[in-house]
Amino acid sequence: MKVVVIQGPNLNMLGVREQNIYGPMKLDDIHAQMEEYAKQNGVEIEFFQSNLEGEIVDRLQECLGDADGIIINPAAYTHTSIAIRDAIAAIQIPTVEVHLSNIHQREEFRHTSLTAPVCAGQIVGFGPFGYHLAMMSIIQIIREITAMREAQAGQQAQVALQEN
């Protein structure tokens, strides 16, 4: 099982920027915690951060055939990027959107997420712990999809045996 974590613009500045909103933890520290949880659960994890919309779209497309799940914090692009939204929809890989702050309690323009409707779920407002919740969620989603596919394959095999 492989999960790709995609971080949007300015998240590389965590621990420096607006600590009253985003807290003091650096992105590398968040990733280290995620990596530890992934290791405990037998999950391969890969991290990507970019301040550029097109690079995020490219990385999403590269996940096709390579990743079982995605955790994404599109950051400011959450509210503006139809391109990122369309990339998530196109690849049809289970995706969980996460935000450190509660975007629904902030400025009006942050209340709308263009990406959330094409994601399996959205986790907001829990600070760095939100990434842990996202990891738990995406692992569960992937396991449920895998179990469903295995059950369907078993049913198809039963039908094929009965037809012979």
- Domain residue ranges of the chain, discontinuous segments joined by +: 2-163
- What is the rounded CA–CA span in Å between residue 23 and residue 163? 61
Q: Which of 31, 37, 99, 131 is catalytic?
A: 99
Q: Which of 22, 77, 131, 132 is catalytic?
A: 22
The predicted pLDDT at position 158 comes to 77
Decide if 111 is catalytic: no
Dihedral, 112, 123, 94, 147 alpha carbons, nearest 10:
-150
The predicted pLDDT at position 39 comes to 97
The predicted pLDDT at position 22 comes to 81
- To the question of domain 2-163 being in CATH 3.40.50.300, the answer is no
CA-nearest of 34, 32, 90 to 62 is: 90
pTM given for the model: 0.91
Decide if 22 is catalytic: yes
- What is the rounded CA–CA span in Å between residue 29 and residue 58? 25
**Per-10-residue mean pLDDT, the chain, length 164:** 98 88 90 97 98 98 97 97 98 97 85 95 96 98 94 80 74
- What is the rounded CA–CA span in Å between residue 95 and residue 138? 7
